[in-house]
Amino acid sequence: MDTKAALKGGEFLIKNVNVDDVFIPEEFDEEQQMIAETCEDFIETQVSQYFNDLDKHKEGLMPQLLKQAGELGLLGVAVPEEYDGFGQSFLTNMKTNEAIGSAYSFSVAFMAHTGIGTLPLLYYGNEEQHQKYLPKLATGEWLASYCLTEPGAGSDANAGSTKAVLSEDGKHYILNGQKMWITNAGFADLLTVFAKIDNDRVLSAFLVEANSEGITMNPEENKMGIKGSSTRQIFFNDVKVPVENLLGRRGEGFRIALNILHVGRIKLGATVIGSMRRAIKQSVNYANERKQFGSAIASFGAIKQKLADQVVKAFSTESAVYRASKDVQDTIESYLEQGKAYGPANIEGIAEYEPECAMLKVYGSEALDFIVDEGVQIHGGMGFSAETPIERGYRDSRINRIFEGTNEINRLIVVDSITKKGKKHKIDLYEKIEEIKNNLAPEAMTGDYYADKHALVDNFKNILLYLIPQVQEKFGRKLMFEEEILMNLADIMMNVYILESTLLRVEKLDKKGLKHDISVYKDILDVLTQNLSNEIYVSGYEAIGSFAEGEEKGELLKLFNNFAKSEPFNIKDARRRIADKLIDDNFYNF
């Protein structure tokens, strides 16, 4: 069998994909749906009743719930069966993350354990380390944490000053330093700690048992949101770490940290979908119940607009997240078929989609922020009260734009990773740019619904490809300091990927007859098209205005306008039809 992803990472900008080759959420099989339902049932029956207690840090509650999840096998979904895990695919693991994602602080603790807490060991550990620790983590006997950030090292992780020195007898590394913002710190049994050995310039990684002598902690941080998650500073004072607990090779820690962040970004994209679903349900439930001027507020156009835009954000996030996740899974499977070991296959498979991981983290976190903000607005004065659950969702959402690298850093990663792939000829970016420069003309509209949508997406891609070398030639090596322009370009890339993913999903739903009411899904696509077209227009105008001058600026703006324009339509009625379905169902059912 020769498994192959539809596209390489970043290749969406230069190649179109056949609708049949794209995975959509409606194609999850029965087993995957059952696993997701098990997770959802666990949240609703075992966790949701404790949301308030978790926020108050009720002693022992969070680890107790995590261990219950472990007993059900939920902590080991991604862990191979030989280590007492469930051995499920990347795609199934992403669906699990979505299902758990609605559980506020619990989902943060869960994701920290199963993601950054377990995956460094799973992907980089040797067989002895796997045998010793993975079964404990997969079953919940032990809980895990990840210790990277320091007071002087946030986005610049390699600036960390925690040190590891080999003991005189050569049996231990002596660890000294401080870590902060450490999720699960209060109850974790196993810590993945990053430190520099001797005078190394780059980090190494260590598996440190939390009961080791010399480890102390500050009290729990008092946070704006995710109050129920344990977040503490950890101090290492002459902590002895057995030499066999070095994770990976000496000096490999920075690479481990970066690659685990790729996983964390795309997983966060899936996790926020669960939060979106809960917030939308809270919004429409309240809109259906709350009466003003003798009618439920759900009947008012202003509220319908908010409900519809919530749906559009969630649906588009889903479409892009699972499209990318299937490409990641196919790439991992392709590497395994080629004979790569499990760890490298997963690491390289996920790293291939570095730009998509970064985009989905940004779009998903900002989409959730929009949804919970509008949720509070729909609730009116009650939304500002801690008595309503939408208030918790609003506070808890904010961290997602900071987690896994800030959204600003991730926007810069999008452009940097795609252009680097082009320069290294991993994708034919600059070949396509040359082709565009010599044959630049807007795609003609034909009146065919899907063909015209694809033509518009191609126009966005082509004008972006035309702009990239203009910016690079203008600034040369100093382009890295023009972060505002780079973020403009990243936003265009991101919005193109989201729009194309949603288009392919709706087209496949229609082509395969998977939805009987395809018209409302076309409404979602139409609203998204107008919204993102407007955003692309603004991003392009800002970028051009920030680097071009005089006649050149005028020509570029005129050119961009010809490519980036989309025809207006009756967006009001489309939103009302989307909202009406949501109002009738009384929960997100798209």
- Catalytic residue annotation: 404
Helices marked H in 548-589 = 550-564, 571-585
Helices marked H in 290-406 = 301-337, 342-351, 354-379, 389-397
Q: Could you tell me if residue 57 is left (phi over 0), alpha (psi between -120 and 50 degrees) or otherwise beta? A: left
User: In terms of C-beta distances under 8 Å and separation of at least 24 residues, what long-range contacts does 339-348 make, across chains too?
Assistant: 342/80, 342/123, 343/122, 343/123, 343/124, 343/125, 344/123, 346/90, 346/122, 346/123, 347/123, 347/124, 347/259
CA distance 2 to 581: 42
Name residues whose C-beta falls within 8 Å of residue 201's C-beta, 6 or more positions apart in sequence. 158
Amino acid symbol at 5 = A
H or E element in which residue 506 lies: helix 483-511
Paired with 173 in beta bridges are 166, 241
- Cα–Cα distances in angstroms (integers) from residue 570 to residues 247, 285, 306, 527, in the given order: 57, 27, 16, 9
Residue 185 and residue 231 in contact, taking contact as beta carbons nearer than 8 Å: yes
Name residues whose C-beta falls within 8 Å of residue 527's C-beta, 6 or more positions apart in sequence. 308, 309, 312, 571, 574, 575, 578
Amino acid symbol at 515 = K
Side-chain-facing half-sphere of 176: CA atoms under 13 Å: 7
Helices marked H in 203-244 = none
Helices marked H in 512-549 = 518-547
First to last CA, the chain: 34
Cα angle vertex 269, ends 265, 271, to 5°?
110
Residue 39 and residue 519 in contact, taking contact as beta carbons nearer than 8 Å: no
